[in-house]
Amino acid sequence: MKKFVVAISREYGSGGRAIGKALADELGINCYDKAIIKLTAEKSGLEPSYVEKSEEKVTNSFLFSMQYSAYTSLDSLLFYDTPTNDKMFIAQSAVISDLAAKDSCVILGRCADYVLRDTENLVRVFIRAEMSERVKRAVDQYSLAEKNAENAVKKADKARANYYKYYTTRSWGAPDNADLMINSSFTGIDGAVGVIKALLASKGYID
C-alpha cells in the first residue's frame, strides 16, 4: 500500500465524520479530527478549549500577518505579535503537515485540502447531503432542537465557508477544490466509504 492522505471536507450534518472514521477503520490507518485540537494547543501554547472554540472563526489581520511568514520560521511567527486566531491556524497547519508526512491517514476539515495541496498522493473529498437528512442527523446525533436545527446547519455551513475563504482565498465546496464529491444522501455512509476505497484502489494506493 502506497502512502496517501485523504482530506475530507464536509457540509455540517452530512455524515462526513462518520465516513472518515469508517474509512480509516477499514484501511487500518488513523483518522485525525479532535486529536488535532490537542496537538495544536501543544504547538501554539494555547488552551485546548480555546483552540476548539476558535476553529472556523477568523480575524481581519491574517493576510498582514502572513506577509511575515515568508521571512520567519514557524516558531518565530508563533511568538510574533500575531492575532491569536491566526496563530492557532498557523500552528494547526503545521500539525496537519506533520501528521500527513508520517503515515497514510484521513484528516477531517480544517482546510487540510489546501494546507496539504503540495503533498504527494493527496486525495481531496467533499461530502454533501440533502438538507432534510442533515437536519435529521443534527437532531438525532448532535442533540440540536428540531425547531432550530435547520438554521443551525446553515449557520455552521456559513462559518465553514467564511473560514475556508479567508484562509485559502478559495470557495468552500467548489468542484475545483475536490477530487471526489459525494452526496451521502444517495450513497449512505457505507456506500461513500466504498466509493472512496474504489478511487484509492484505482490510483494504486490500496489493493
Answer yes or no: is 10 within a domain.
yes
pLDDT value for 127: 98
pLDDT value for 71: 33
**Total domains present in the chain:** 1
Find, among 154, 144, 109, 112, the residue nearest to 9 by Cα: 109
pLDDT value for 192: 98
Find, among 8, 55, 50, the residue nearest to 181 by Cα: 8
CB 12 within 8 A of CB 157: yes
pLDDT value for 204: 96
Cell of 187: 450513497
- Sequence-distant (6+) residues with CB within 8 A of 177 are 9, 113, 114, 124, 126, 170, 171
pLDDT value for 69: 42
Q: Give the bridge partners for 32, in sequence order.
A: 107
Per the structure, the complete domain to which residue 48 belongs is given by 5-202
Answer yes or no: is 105 within a domain.
yes
Answer yes or no: is 30 within a domain.
yes
Answer yes or no: is 207 within a domain.
no
Amino acid (one-letter) located at 196: I
* Cα 115–chain centre separation: 10
Q: Would you say how long the chain is, in residues?
A: 207
pLDDT value for 102: 95
Answer yes or no: is 130 within a domain.
yes
pLDDT value for 48: 87
CATH code assigned at 23: 3.40.50.300
Q: Give the bridge partners for 125, in sequence order.
A: 8, 180
pLDDT value for 140: 94
Answer yes or no: is 71 within a domain.
yes
CA distance 184 to 189: 6
Q: Which positions of the chain have pLDDT values less than 70?
A: 56-83
Cell of 165: 475563504
pLDDT value for 47: 87
